Amino acid sequence: MAGGEIAHAERAHALLSASASHRWLHCPPSARLEETLPDTTSEAANRGTLAHEISELKLRKAFTDQMPTRKYNAALKKFKAQALYEPVMEEHTNAYLDYVQKIVHSFPSPPFVAIERKVDYSDYAPEGFGTSDCIVVGSRQLHVIDYKNGSGVPVGAEDNPQMKLYALGALKAFSLLFPVDTVHLAIVQPKVRAEPSEWSLSAADLLAWGKSIKPIAQQAFNGEGAYQLGDHCKFCRAVGRCPAQVKRAFEAGESLPVKPPPLSTWAEFAEALRRVEPVVAWFTGAKKLALSEVLKGTELPGWKAVEGRGSRDYADLDKAFAHLREKGIEEAVLYKRQPLTLPQLEEALTKAVYKELLEDAGHVSKKPGAPTLAPEDDKRPAYNGQVKPEDVFSTPPEQS
């Protein structure tokens, strides 16, 4: 690792961390609630950490450290030897480096570049600090650039509170030396987007936003304020046992009318679906949590773990197949040759090669998805095709 680097996996996190800010800004008590729960990690998160370390090395060599090529190559080789390394990281971290280079070269005179810089935004959120991947400042412009390795949810720069908090910290650190008029936020997420997501605002607007969140941040710091359920719950450590989710599960069936015949109206039926939908989603995750707790020995009144359905497997695949071949079973019977799916191929080839060789060459046909039920406020337009029930269900839905 190059001198002066922060080990990504060992970074300290503020209670009001920038990365969780979309959560504590929506749901202030989540910060103190999460504090009581262990911070678990995943293979994807560890892979992201490795990609960040490689990015950092490349940026340091390009902009800040006088790093001999041999030292750089040795450090890169070490990263590449790690089990979580995937060859596509080379292309993705280069895309990030190219973007930062493009920004740096767009300045009329050389800007100041800070890599993996700890920034302090405690003027807006108590004890708030974080580490910004890359800050470029000069000529009255501030750029805050973040690399994201995730392939799931695309993260946009527009109005992104994590990026705005980093930018507030960067202003505090640099604006005395480098006065700033305009702040540019960018998220490079090569696994989901060919071009970085960019958004700009004036330094004055950023400072006004910082001021506007101070009361919420104080509530979050104090563990006060109202729970607010929403999309921001997805990565909350409290998800499952969160008091607001448990309360909603209790309340879902309350006050639904129980009437004598005839059937409930379609409006009542629709209302029941609407109320129960988030509870069903909660239940799926909550059951997994409950099972893992019961297996750890936690007592959950009314629940126990039981043995699920068993499965069959080869005692020794090689021996079994050798035996079958000896007995005259043809290889064609034993093996299935299957093409990779398009998403698997895209992952294997990289997005650019996939696009050039398959999409651009007309080898990919896009079929519309089957109709699916969604709440009225879903962003997708309402389905307007004519569909028969048997197109959706293998058997028509029961009417009782």
Site residues for ligand SF4 per CB under 6 A: 23, 27, 30, 33, 227-229, 232-233, 236, 238-239, 242, 244-245
- C-beta closer to ligand SF4: residue 29 or 111: 29
Classify burial at 349, counting beta carbons within 10 Å of its beta carbon; exposed 0-12, middle 13-18, buried 19 or more.
Answer: middle
CA atoms of 37 and 132, how far apart (whole Å): 25
- C-beta closer to ligand SF4: residue 155 or 229: 229
CB of 25 to ligand SF4, least distance (A): 10
190 SS3 class: coil
Other CB atoms within 10 Å distance of the CB of residue 326: 8
Distance of CA 237 to the CA centre of its chain: 14
CB of 24 to ligand SF4, least distance (A): 8
CB of 296 to ligand SF4, least distance (A): 21
CB of 278 to ligand SF4, least distance (A): 11
- C-beta closer to ligand SF4: residue 104 or 238: 238
Evaluate whether 125 touches 221 at the Cβ level (below 8 Å).
yes
Q: What is the DSSP letter of 134?
A: E
Angle between helices 88-105 and 43-59 (to 10 degrees): 40
- C-beta closer to ligand SF4: residue 148 or 237: 237
Going from the C-alpha of 367 to that of each of 305, 353, 364, 370, 383, the distances in angstroms are 42, 22, 10, 9, 14
- C-beta closer to ligand SF4: residue 114 or 233: 233
CB of 224 to ligand SF4, least distance (A): 13
In the chain, the N- to C-terminal Cα span, in Å, equals 65
CB of 27 to ligand SF4, least distance (A): 3
Angle between helices 161-174 and 203-222 (to 10 degrees): 110
- C-beta closer to ligand SF4: residue 280 or 357: 280
- C-beta closer to ligand SF4: residue 24 or 96: 24
CB of 153 to ligand SF4, least distance (A): 16
H helices of the chain, in order, are 21-26, 30-35, 43-59, 69-80, 88-105, 161-174, 203-222, 243-251, 266-296, 317-326, 331-334, 342-349, 351-354, 389-392
